[in-house]
Homo-oligomer: A and B are copies of this chain.
Amino acid sequence: MKPIKIGLLGLGTVGTGVVKIVEGHQDDLSNQVGSPISIAQILVKDRRKTRSIPIEAAKLTEDPWDIVRNPDIDIIVEVMGGIAQTKEYILEALERGKHIVTANKDLMALHGQEILAKARDKGCDVLYEASVAGGIPIIRTLVEGFSSDRITKIMGIVNGTTNYILTKMSQEGAAYADVLKEAQELGYAETDPTSDVEGLDAARKMTILSSLGFRSNVDLDNVSVRGISGVTQEDIRYGKRLGYEVKLLGIAERQDDLFSVSVEPTMIKTTHPIAAVNGVFNAVYVHGEAVGETMFYGAGAGELPTATSVVADLVAVIKNMKLGVNGRQAQLSYNVMKLKSDDQIASKFFLLLHVEDRAGVLAQIAQVFSDCDVSIESVMQPSTPHQSSTEIIIITHQASKKAMNEVLNAFESLSAVRRVKSVYRVEG
């Protein structure tokens, strides 16, 4: 039977994994889709470079247009990354009736709507399971598994680098800068780690997950982002004493036609299932009105886990080809929603304050909270005998982000509060 021909854009980590799975699981795959799958052409940066897997030299090209314009290619698998240039290749491939499987979260977060609209026009599939949470089939789960439900909350550990760093800081008591350096040496963090540690990577993934989960167009601009570079050992230690772990959580919430999406280091109760997700693992917690609490856990990156999702998408595209139903992906942005303002976003908060150590300070602080209508759940004052200053840790009840900002503003003119050392959202 005539094989389905794949053009592979990129032969880095994930691309190599795709070749390994398509070749290693060929029997299984062709049993499922009804024909062989052949990786016919591969875009590489340097044709002469030595590869970790045997590849016929004739399949390699350094010119992406060779593949995009090759009339024999049925499906483009894009695992090269990049945004503007890559988008051009993909739009041109769609124009020529080729289906797309991509692992590119940046592209889908920024230009997903344009690309999906073009695909519908041209009767083509664009699948992107691998763009979020590597081997965890979370996109399928949101789109198909929970098609019947109204999703109210998504909390994700969707960046392995930062979870590795925070896990090491929590388990070994190491400082942020030291763990980052170690992660870079191990290849878990990039030489320029900004996109990971400042939360941008996670924000892009949350844009994708919240769009699908809420069936609405969520823009990257709608996501409020804070990274982990300010997380200290002190925060982690005090968090633990109160029963929390610090995790970089993407949090998307929906109430009726209002939504909010954020990425920020969060104090999460140790009893919550997501608090135990450690190292480079990813997890996505989903709460639906009907289904209640669910969680999906697995490797968030890596050659074979990510390639598993890419090739699962490939199987789905080929099945659609056999049925003649490509380009019929459900239209999932039918909800028109409004971004919550700061007075509509509520959570508990953790505050670590550096304060004067004298009688009446706590009363003054409590008065500020009360004036701003924020009620306090607990206060911890670690004893620091014979010093003129001390620390106070406060956990609030549910309060709006706006009210919390008012508290922080009021502290600026309160001499008893020398410094607000940390503020964290609290979950779980």
Contacts and interface: CB of A to CB of B under 8 A. Distances in A.
Interface centre among A21, A129, A148, A323, by most chain B C-beta atoms within 10 angstroms, is A148
Interface stretch (A67-75, A313-321, A339-347): A313-321
Nearest to A330: B32
Contacts of A132: none
A298 B299 contact: no
A256 interface: no
A292 B160 CA distance: 15
Contact of A293 (B17, B137, B141, B298): B298
Nearest to A290: B304
Chain A residues touching B, range: 35 or more
A181 to B, nearest CB: 26
A136 B311 CA distance: 23
A146 B312 contact: yes
Contacts of A312: 144-149
B292 A304 contact: yes
Interface string A285-302: 000111111111111001
Interface in A264-311: 273, 276, 288-299, 302, 304-305, 307-311
Contacts of A308: 146, 148-149, 288, 290-291
A254 interface: no
A173 B331 CA distance: 52
A135 interface: yes
Contacts of A291: 135, 298-299, 304-305, 308
Interface string A145-184: 1111110000000000000000000000000000000000
Given A299-B292, A330-B32, A137 B146 contact: yes
B296 A25 contact: no
A292 B150 contact: no
A379 interface: no
A100 B310 CA distance: 31
A401 to B, nearest CB: 28
A399 interface: no
A29 interface: yes
